[in-house]
Structure 1
Amino acid sequence: MYKVGKCRLKEHIASANMTQADLARRTGYFRSNISEWASSDHVMTLEAAKNISEILECSIDELYEWDLR
């Protein structure tokens, strides 16, 4: 079984030459939500992960590190 690990959102935002504010504008999510997800304070919903992965051109799996238990 897998457990969600560290969020890799910061890396993908940087690779896309964007800021968290840019991603918030593109997705319609609050900047505070993006920040909470990026700092691993909260895990994003499946819907948010899908929307963000489309914009950042990565897979949902790539948005997090996954720990095998």
Structure 2
Amino acid sequence: MKSRLNELIEQSGYLKKYIAKEVGVTPTQLSNWIAGRSYPPLDKAYKLAELLNCKVDELYER
């Protein structure tokens, strides 16, 4: 799966540091999710989707 997080974060206008803080992870962990090195647990994915004003399934594409 390809991450759409970077695109969605840019569209939101939020800083990555702010997103990481609101979701409750380190900026490094968020970077890993963006790069596809790891994936957020479901609870964090829902928080991301809420912050980015999208559905959870829109965070990644196949």
With the length of structure 2 as denominator, give the TM-score of the two structures: 0.91
CA-atom RMSD, angstroms?
A: 0.9
Q: 1:27 and 2:23 equivalent? A: yes
Normalized per residue, the structure richer in helix is: 2
- Residue deviations 1:31-53, cap 9 Å, x none? 11100000101011111111110
- Give the greater-gyration-radius structure (CA): 1
Q: Distance in 1 between matches of 2:54 and 2:4?
A: 11
Amino-acid identity (%): 31
Normalized per residue, the structure richer in strand is: 1
Equivalence map 1:1-69=2 (5 Å)? 5-66=1-62
Unaligned 5+ segments in structure 2 are none
Unaligned 5+ segments in structure 1 are none
Asked which structure has the greater RCO (Cα within 8 Å, sep 6+), the reply is 1
